[in-house]
Amino acid sequence: MSAGATISYREALRQALREAMQRDPRVFLMGEDVGRYGGTYAVSKGLLEEFGPDRVRDTPLSELAFVGAGIGAALGGMRPIVEIMTVNFSLLALDQIINNAATLRHMSGGQFSVPLVIRMATGAGRQLAAQHSHSLEGWYAHIPGLRILAPATIDDARGMLAPALADPDPVLIFEHVQLYNTEGALSDAWQATDIRRARVHRAGRDVSLVTYGGSLGKALLAAERLAGEGIEAEVIDLRVLRPLDAETVFESVRRTHRAVIIDEGWRSGSLSAEVSARIAESIFYSLDAPVLRVCSEEVPVPYPKHLEDAVLPQVPDIVAAVKEIVSGHD
């Protein structure tokens, strides 16, 4: 598909998978329902018919087993893409991801690498209740040996897979469930997607809004509302949660002197806490106000729509946080 054409986030992911499999015969996809069913979120629809069952493999319902098989395939020279249905289910494979994939390069003294990509849905907003709705990518961002990506845009959905497959270490890609149906124009920039740096999506002078994944759209909407009241917010998409590109955040906060971090994870022990701590440690004297965080309420995500909405960070919450630090510290 040519640049400038309107495309869905789901189709951008599918195009990336198709291109990777066409380009490199070592690449194959495996996971629950990725083949005949076409993927839980229809990302892999049509790939089984195009590439066959050897390269699009439906697996048994055992995350521990098929993630382990992916690690073995990567060690054997293949380039597996493992799909886990939802981040909550990835907890069943923690031993394989953390004790094996993340550590084998270190424990082998650099003799082995694990060029494995694991994709999974994350986040809430679709009334899937507590066992399918949490944002746990911040947990994985705690683990050395892993690269953690969170594509929030059509360009990143299209462009992150190729450099992830080229990485010699395991890469986890977190796709927010609210983004699959979103549509936008694919730009030329996707072909040079950088999986090392954050991206400034909107320039501003008064406050830095730092976020990622499914919260990026909310931050941009909040920035538009604030602009109508004379407050110019800069919006940063972290994109890469590990290794964290703190310098891009620092550069922004040095300009704006205020920061609000939006994170769909829970506040306690969250990625937002890490970003806040790094700002305080490194550029404390650039701040004109305390760093504020807008996070999910610390409860399991509820099923009823009105309660789910109340638990998650929303645009009015972001606007209120910005007004608190801007109006109180002019």
Question: Residue range 266-292: average pLDDT?
Answer: 97
Residue 79 has pLDDT above 80, yes or no: yes
List 11, 83, 132, 257, catalytic entry: 132
The one catalytic residue among 11, 32, 63, 83: 63
Cα–Cα distance, 26 to 81 (Å, whole number): 10
- Percent of residues, the chain, with pLDDT higher than 90: 95
Question: Is 176 noted as a catalytic residue in this protein?
Answer: no
Q: Is the pLDDT of residue 329 over 70?
A: no
Task: Name residue 85's beta-bridge partners.
Answer: none
d(Cα 97, Cα 112) in Å, to the nearest integer? 15
Average pLDDT of every residue of the chain? 96
Which positions ≥6 away from 231 have C-beta within 8 Å?
206, 207, 322, 323, 326
Contact between residue 263 and residue 138 where contact means Cβ atoms under 8 Å apart = yes
pLDDT over 90 (residue 113) = yes
pLDDT score, position 327: 82
Identify whether 63 is a catalytic site residue.
yes
Which residue segments constitute the domains of the chain, with CATH numbers given? 6-192 (3.40.50.970), 199-327 (3.40.50.920)
Q: What is the pLDDT of residues 152-206, one digit of tens each?
A: 999 999 999 999 999 999 999 999 999 999 999 999 889 889 999 999 999 999 9
Residue 3, pLDDT score:
64
pLDDT at residue 5, as a whole number: 81
pLDDT of 133 strictly over 80: yes
Torsion angle defined by CA atoms of residues 310, 315, 317 and 319, in that order, rounded to the nearest 10 degrees: -170
What share of the chain in percent tops pLDDT 70?
98
Mean pLDDT confidence for 220-226: 98
Residue 1 has pLDDT above 60, yes or no: no
